């Protein structure tokens, strides 16, 4: 059994599954890491979700039973997997249990399971999790994490993001218990501090002007017991374990039409022309930024175009080496029921450049104001280049 861990000021104490159900007056929650090693690259991939609070974790939730049994915990885990990510294949069993932790103030016990999938099952989830009952009210998207391998940038940046509760500790314990990486990599992984500089790849020096696209849409979604209109933007999980806009490319000209042509070519390469019916020439809005070397174009999609990109993103040319998933970002606009603080947490921990945060300020409804989300400097993590990871 692991040692107690302190996360965000909360101490999580290891406890056995049997001991946990003997405790009275405790609330319980359960989550699950879905993973696969069945792929040609022989890399273990785990599925991680972005929660509606702007934090990373694994699907799961509350065990809404007073006198909890092991079967109640397992049933709740399977129910949450279906509700949050549309998972209804072979359910979690007692043999999939990894660990349980308790916290004392208030009494709360968190259980964690891990379920191995086939490669096809994992891909199917990546393509269909948007059909889940609680998407996007609780889950804003799934992405795959390459666990292990020679490139340590991804895992380093991933483990320095903001996690829900003790999800970070649960994932590391799973990797250790199931021997998903070598003993040497396990020691290295446990040495990574939860806070620290994010690693930026500078092995390739790009000259010219950077252009990228914020693909966004105003969608009617089911949120709690009502339908509401929320503005969402799409962001990709990149090969360095960070989040960025789609279609990033470089051009020598600062002419708007030239930049849009470059963006169209890049989007076509990243997403594929067959399911990118976007008229960028007439629809791209140039967002004014403080940085002359980086330009973001806001492209407003309809609901069909937006969800089509989400559904088919695993089919794009760069998926699995340039991109590892796509997630939604809710922007605080007029009438939005999403808490501004959830956007704040995401922008503090996950953006891959400064222009991204300033871009987001252009999207926020003036009636809400970016002050509700937080000042720019507070939301930008420090970044440092480590040559040994290139």
Strands 27-36 and 60-63: antiparallel
Best mean pLDDT range from 70-74, 137-141, 270-274, 305-309: 70-74
- Sorting pLDDT into bands at 50, 70 and 90, what band is 113? very high
Print the SS3 string covering the chain: CCCCEEECCEEEEEECHHHHHHCCCCEEEEEEEEEECCCCCCCEEEEEEEECCCCEECCEEEECCCCCCHHHHHHHHHHHHHHHHCCCCCCCCHHHEEEEEEECCCCEEEEEEEEECCHHHHHHHHHHHHHCCCCCCCEEEEEEEEECCCCCHHHHHHHCCCECCCHHHHHHHHHHHCCCCCHHHHHHHHHCCCCCCEECCCCCCCCCEEEEEEEEEEEEEEECCEEEEEEEEEEEEECCCCEECEEEEEECCCCHHHHHHHHHHHHHHHHCHHHCCCCHHHHEEEECCCCCCEEEEEEECCHHHHHHHHHHHHHCCCECCCEEEEEEEEECCCCCCCCHHHHHHHHHHCECCHHHHHHHHHHCCCCCCHHHCCCHHHHCCCEECCHHHC
- Specify the pLDDT at position 334: 46
pLDDT tens digits for 254-299? 888 888 888 888 888 888 766 555 666 667 787 755 556 778 888 8
- Specify the pLDDT at position 385: 31
- Specify the pLDDT at position 312: 87
- Specify the pLDDT at position 281: 67
Q: Where do the domains of the chain lie, and which CATH numbers do they carry?
A: 5-196 (3.90.79.10), 209-383 (3.90.79.10)
Three-class secondary structure of residue 136 per DSSP: coil
Beta pairing partners, 139: 51
- Specify the pLDDT at position 370: 40
- Specify the pLDDT at position 75: 96
- Specify the pLDDT at position 73: 96
- Specify the pLDDT at position 381: 36
Please provide the distance, in angstroms rounded to a whole number, between the alpha carbons at the two ends of the chain: 35
pLDDT tens digits for 206-250? 668 888 888 888 888 877 677 777 888 899 999 888 888 888 888
Distance between CA atoms of 82 and 65, rounded to whole angstroms?
Answer: 18
pLDDT tens digits for 1-55? 565 555 556 788 999 999 999 988 889 999 999 999 876 667 899 999 998 888 8
- Specify the pLDDT at position 271: 85
Distance between CA atoms of 123 and 367, rounded to whole angstroms?
Answer: 40
Mean pLDDT of the chain: 79
- Specify the pLDDT at position 348: 56
Distance between CA atoms of 169 and 167, rounded to whole angstroms?
Answer: 5
Q: Using the predicted structure, report yes or no on whether residue 383 has a pLDDT greater than 60.
A: no
Q: Using the predicted structure, report yes or no on whether residue 143 has a pLDDT greater than 90.
A: yes
- Specify the pLDDT at position 204: 47
């Amino acid at each position: 059994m692991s040692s107690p861990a302190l996360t965000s000021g909360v101490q999580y104490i290891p406890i056995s599954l049997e001991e946990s159900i003997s405790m009275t007056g405790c609330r319980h929650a359960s989550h699950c890491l879905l993973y696969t090693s069945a792929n040609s690259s022989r890399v273990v991939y785990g599925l991680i979700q972005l929660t509606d609070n702007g934090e990373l974790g694994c699907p799961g939730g509350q065990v809404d039973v007073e006198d909890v049994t092991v079967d109640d915990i397992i049933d709740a885990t399977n129910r949450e997997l279906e509700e949050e990510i549309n998972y209804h294949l072979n359910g979690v069993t007692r043999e999939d249990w990894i660990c349980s932790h308790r916290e004392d103030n208030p009494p709360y016990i968190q259980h964690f399971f891990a379920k191995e999938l086939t490669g096809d099952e994992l891909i199917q989830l990546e393509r269909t999790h948007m059909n889940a009952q609680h998407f996007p009210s609780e889950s804003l998207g799934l992405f795959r994490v390459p666990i292990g391998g020679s490139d340590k940038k991804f895992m380093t940046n991933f483990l320095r993001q903001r996690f829900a509760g003790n999800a970070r500790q649960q994932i590391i314990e799973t990797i250790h218990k199931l021997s998903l990486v070598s003993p040497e990599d396990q020691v290295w992984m446990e040495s990574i501090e939860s806070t620290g500089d994010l690693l930026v790849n500078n092995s390739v020096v790009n000259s010219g002007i950077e252009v990228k696209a914020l693909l966004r849409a105003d969608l009617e979604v089911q949120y709690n017991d009502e339908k509401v209109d929320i503005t969402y933007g799409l962001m990709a999980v990149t090969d360095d374990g960070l989040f960025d806009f789609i279609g990033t490319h470089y051009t020598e000209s600062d002419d708007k039409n030239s930049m849009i042509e470059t963006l169209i070519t890049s989007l076509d390469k990243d997403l594929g022309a067959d399911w990118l019916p976007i008229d960028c020439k007439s629809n791209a809005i140039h967002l004014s930024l403080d940085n002359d070397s980086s330009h973001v174009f806001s492209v407003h999609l309809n609901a069909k175009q937006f969800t089509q990109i989400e559904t088919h993103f695993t089919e794009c040319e760069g998926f699995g080496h340039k991109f590892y998933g796509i997630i939604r970002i809710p922007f605080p606009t007029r009438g939005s029921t999403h808490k501004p603080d959830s956007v704040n947490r995401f922008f503090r921990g996950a953006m891959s450049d400064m222009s991204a945060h300033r871009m987001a300020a252009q999207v926020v409804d003036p009636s809400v104001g970016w002050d509700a989300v937080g000042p720019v400097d507070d939301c930008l993590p420090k970044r440092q280049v480590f040559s040994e990871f290139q």
